[in-house]
Amino acid sequence: MGTADVIPSISSGTIALITGIYSELLDTIHSFNKIAFKLLLAGKWQRFWKQIHGNFLLPLGLGITVSLLTTVRLVRYLLDQYPIEVSSFFFGLSIISAMVIYQQLKKINVLTLLMSILGAFLAYLLIQTTPLASPSATWFIFISGALATCAMILPGISGSFILLILGKYTFMLEALEKFDWYILTIFMSGGLLGLLIFSKSLSFLLHTYTNYTIGLLAGFMMGAIPKTWPWKSFMPAVSKIPTSMLLEKNISPIHFQAIYHKDPHILQALLCMSLGCLVVILLNKLGNRKQV
């Protein structure tokens, strides 16, 4: 999940869904409430640990933290040097992930299909959004943290992609690499607030309207798949703007080669797509085994 949080194309919520821990993840986040706060103040450590699902939260939190700290440079290097291969891996991963989530639907009816279409439509609109120029003020970093964390637990759209739209992706990666605790603390404070508020609503929907919510989430994942297409062309969003603000357009490998006069690496892309599919299948089997 930590590695997924660094990539502006795949959500850690997707990883949680295909490994079968999504519902428990939402319940754990939701458990940080007044009861937990009172137990903490009263020094009732054992009950507090049980209330916050500590045995689940500790290894998950450690895994995410270690992954973030150790993979951020590697991910940036791979995205810079092998963009087609990396995107292909996540393209294959995204497609199979959506199929795996659709398999979790217990019943498919008209409303379920409508929710899925709605999710796909919203995700597709979101990935068409042009990256913005943004301030580096404290308040904006706080809001960026809140929005990115909400997206982080939504399957399909990653928190990193939201940061990309807000113009804070590179800014936060640099802060993480340099351990800029001032920036990181502000960002995490906003993230914590957004996470607590958003997870409560999502947890309620998942438990009360399970089938419709899964349909919505699966549709959201399907709508976000075009973001991971390996071959893209780039153009300025409007005239006379910084070159960092570019519009992406999915193109064919042949078109890519004609425009950029570069090898589209079709064979490597297909291999990476297959690897992404294999990873999802293995993760899903692992998750199903743990639930038995």
pLDDT on residue 245: 46
DSSP state of 248: E
Residues 6+ apart with CB under 8 A from 237: 130, 131, 245, 246, 247
User: What secondary structure does DSSP assign to 38-98, as a single string?
Assistant: HHHHTT-HHHHHHHTTHHHHHHHHHHHHHHHHHHHHHHHHHHHH-HHHHHHHHHHHHHHHH
| Sequence letter at residue 130 | T
- Provide the terminal-to-terminal Cα distance of the chain, rounded to the nearest Å: 22
**Hey, which residues does 232 pair with through a beta bridge?**
250
**Would you give per-residue pLDDT tens digits along the chain (292 residues)?**
555 555 655 667 777 777 777 778 888 887 887 888 888 888 888 898 988 888 888 888 787 777 767 776 777 788 788 889 988 988 888 888 788 778 878 788 899 999 999 988 988 887 776 655 567 788 889 988 888 887 777 765 667 767 766 778 778 878 887 888 899 899 999 988 888 777 777 778 877 888 888 888 888 878 888 888 899 887 654 444 444 445 678 899 999 999 888 999 999 999 999 998 898 888 777 766 655 4
From 212, 229, 224, select the one nearest 156 (Cα to Cα): 224
pLDDT on residue 253: 93
The torsion angles phi and psi of 209, rounded to 5 degrees, stand at: -125, 65
Q: Would strands 246-250 and 232-236 be described as parallel, antiparallel, or unpaired?
A: antiparallel
pLDDT on residue 36: 87
What pTM did the predictor assign?
0.70
Beta strands (DSSP E) in the chain are 232-236, 246-250
pLDDT on residue 85: 92
d(CA 56, CA 68) in angstroms, rounded, equals 19
- Helix 181-208 / helix 169-178 crossing angle, nearest 10 deg: 120
From 221, 195, 225, 227, select the one nearest 129 (Cα to Cα): 227
pLDDT on residue 13: 73
Residue linked to tokens 């990309």: 164
Q: Which CA distances in Å does 9 have to 24, 111, 138, 190, 198?
A: 23, 28, 26, 22, 21
From 104, 92, 130, 100, select the one nearest 225 (Cα to Cα): 92
d(CA 182, CA 3) in angstroms, rounded, equals 23
